[in-house]
Amino acid sequence: MTEVATAPRTGDTQELSRISHWIDGRMVPGRSGRAGPVYNPATGGIAAEVDFASVEEVDAAVASARAAFPAWRAMSISRRAELFFRVRALLDAHRDDIARILTREHGKVHSDALGEVARGLEVIEYACGIPTLIKGEFSEQASTGIDVYSIRQPLGVVAGITPFNFPAMVPMWMWGPALACGNTFVLKPSEKDPSASLLVAELLKEAGIPDGVFTVLQGDKVAVDRLLEHPDVAAVSFVGSTPIAKYVYESGTKAGKRVQALAGAKNHMIVLPDADVDMAADAAVSAGYGSAGERCMAVSVVVAVGEVADPLVDAIKERATKITVGDGASPDSEMGPLITGQHRDKVASYLDSGTQQGAKLVLDGRESTPDGDGFFLGVSLLDDVTPEMDCYRDEIFGPVLSVVRVDTYDEAMRLVNENPWGNGTAIFTRDGGVARQFQFDAQAGMVGINVPIPVPVAWFSFGGWKASLFGDTHAYGPESVNFYTRGKVVTSRWPDPATSKVNLGFPQTR
């Protein structure tokens, strides 16, 4: 319990016997006596143990972040931007190192891990533009001799609580804009794949980010609960499952904090009869099975409208059977394992419940699972799924694609809009008019038109509707600058003291 972990730069599991906290610019071994296993999902073996912070350790981390805030906030914006360009360069130089850690602890294939880092880096690039992003507005002579201007100021210590499925990118969505805006940041990464954040912490230090500005606190519910109630934490960003997002939102706001909590999803991809079947099948397979379906923007339901259903299911099946499942570190693998054995078994259980409830099992991933103890499940396809089945109602978060057959666009749209989640949705069609109607009708925060995973570019914001988001503000992009700052409006005049007199009337502007 006392061994100090080294932030992994090489992807060598031997260095990872103990994964600790990063507080005040250095690795700090946990003292709580509590820890959890970190698996290599490709082998099923325990690769390391991660410390779980106690309440006292959370308090120490927040105290360090609080102490670092005044100087960080006072640093000129142009100097902060300069540091961010350095952060960007170092992250860019270490893409491969970060990606290898992601593959080792999460299981995703190396190319997918590189893609995750690339999308996270786009948010850091956006944050490099902080001088422009945080600029206020100015009205000269708003009233006679009076100027009015607005400024945005950081909140203080903000916390981020992140899920296992994007251990590098989702934290970057948060700490990038939060730090650029002048806050200090305490990250509580997923305990399932906690190491990437430690390498990032080292790189931030190397770039010149002062100690205490970025903290990594490893842990579980104990750490989350303390962050949610801590009086010195001004705001909390959360990404994870819907029940925990709701809990975090309710607890954090009750404690007076600003909270954004991005949650689970059930993303529908509608395929209209006029769509190009091959293109739609390519998209459904890529978006359904990429990262083994462990993406909040994964397509999990294909809604086949009318006569497109039979050729579409055939085309998906043909492509899906060719996917090579294996260790994400192998260049031959296209899809890696799931995060834990328990999660793999839960995902597989939807194949049984689906068939028991009347769905047709077109592809059974249990039959194409690689040998060994890794947490693998091959690609699976359920057809004739209906809305009352468990495989439709639950977020499966695995390589299981469900096909629902309907007769009309209106029926398809009803499925999207009556679903409790509203993260992403997509339509495949050649008809511009219907696509535009879809964009107008869809009750979801992110809409794709012939794009299956419509994750917005970094200068727009990311977020769902309904049970996919608790709070008002989406992640990254312009909304993140609003989330991580408070507005202030200054009304200013420099009158000649000789003209000063008492006036009890309400101030007039003309």
Q: What is the DSSP letter of 367?
A: G
Which residue lies nearer to ligand NAD by CB, 262 or 303? Answer: 262
Which residue lies nearer to ligand NAD by CB, 167 or 354? Answer: 167
How many angstroms separate the CA atoms of 234 and 157, rounded?
Answer: 6
Nearest residue to 288 (alpha-carbon basis) of 114, 493, 426: 426
Spell out the residues 6+ positions from residue 475 whose beta carbon is closer than 8 angstroms to its own.
Answer: 173, 174, 237, 239, 260, 262, 461, 462, 463
Residue 137: phi and psi, rounded to 5, are -120, 155
191 forms part of the interface with ligand NAD (CB under 6 A) = yes
Tokens representing 309 are: 């259903």
User: Least distance in Å: CB of 170 to ligand NAD?
Assistant: 6
Spell out the residues 6+ positions from residue 504 whose beta carbon is closer than 8 angstroms to its own.
Answer: none
How many angstroms separate the CA atoms of 48 and 374, rounded?
Answer: 16
117 forms part of the interface with ligand NAD (CB under 6 A) = no
* Per-residue binding letters, 48-67, with ligand NAD (x by CB under 6 A): --------------------
Q: Are 343 and 287 in contact (CB under 8 A)?
A: no
How many angstroms separate the CA atoms of 432 and 438, rounded?
Answer: 10
End-to-end CA distance of the chain: 69
Residue 148, Cα to own-chain centre: how many angstroms?
A: 37
Catalytic (active site) residue 181 = no
Q: What is the DSSP letter of 157?
A: E
Nearest residue to 297 (alpha-carbon basis) of 473, 421, 386, 173: 421
Q: Using CB under 6 A, which of 97, 116, 395, 479 touches ligand NAD?
A: 395
259 forms part of the interface with ligand NAD (CB under 6 A) = no
* Per-residue binding letters, 294-323, with ligand NAD (x by CB under 6 A): --x---------------------------
Residue 163 exposure: Cα atoms within 13 Å on the Cβ side? 20
User: Least distance in Å: CB of 339 to ligand NAD?
Assistant: 8
471 forms part of the interface with ligand NAD (CB under 6 A) = no
How many angstroms separate the CA atoms of 117 and 226, rounded?
Answer: 29
Which residue lies nearer to ligand NAD by CB, 72 or 166? Answer: 166
The window from 72-80, 96-104, 259-267, 345-353 that contacts ligand NAD (CB under 6 A) reads 259-267
Which residues in the 130-169 window bind ligand NAD by CB under 6 A? 161-166
Tokens representing 320 are: 């899906």
Spell out the residues 6+ positions from residue 172 whose beta carbon is closer than 8 angstroms to its own.
Answer: 120, 121, 123, 124, 200
* Per-residue binding letters, 419-448, with ligand NAD (x by CB under 6 A): ----x-------------------------
Q: Are 19 and 196 in contact (CB under 8 A)?
A: no
The window from 10-18, 217-225, 302-310, 433-441 that contacts ligand NAD (CB under 6 A) reads 217-225
Number of residues that bind ligand NAD (CB under 6 A): 27
262 forms part of the interface with ligand NAD (CB under 6 A) = yes
Q: Which residue is nearest to ligand NAD (CB)?
A: 240
Nearest residue to 483 (alpha-carbon basis) of 248, 180, 84: 180
Q: Using CB under 6 A, which of 27, 35, 121, 263 touches ligand NAD?
A: 263
220 forms part of the interface with ligand NAD (CB under 6 A) = yes
204 forms part of the interface with ligand NAD (CB under 6 A) = no
190 forms part of the interface with ligand NAD (CB under 6 A) = yes
User: Least distance in Å: CB of 344 to ligand NAD?
Assistant: 13
244 forms part of the interface with ligand NAD (CB under 6 A) = yes
Nearest residue to 189 (alpha-carbon basis) of 227, 157, 155, 154: 227
Catalytic choice (128, 181, 296, 391): 296
Q: Using CB under 6 A, which of 79, 135, 221, 360 touches ligand NAD?
A: 221
376 forms part of the interface with ligand NAD (CB under 6 A) = no
Give the DSSP letter string of 494-508.
---GGG-----SPPP
385 forms part of the interface with ligand NAD (CB under 6 A) = no
Which residue lies nearer to ligand NAD by CB, 38 or 315? Answer: 38
Could you give the residue numbers annotated as active site? 296
Residues making contact with ligand NAD (CB under 6 A) = 161-166, 170, 188, 190-191, 220-221, 224, 239-241, 244, 262-265, 296, 395, 397, 423, 464, 468
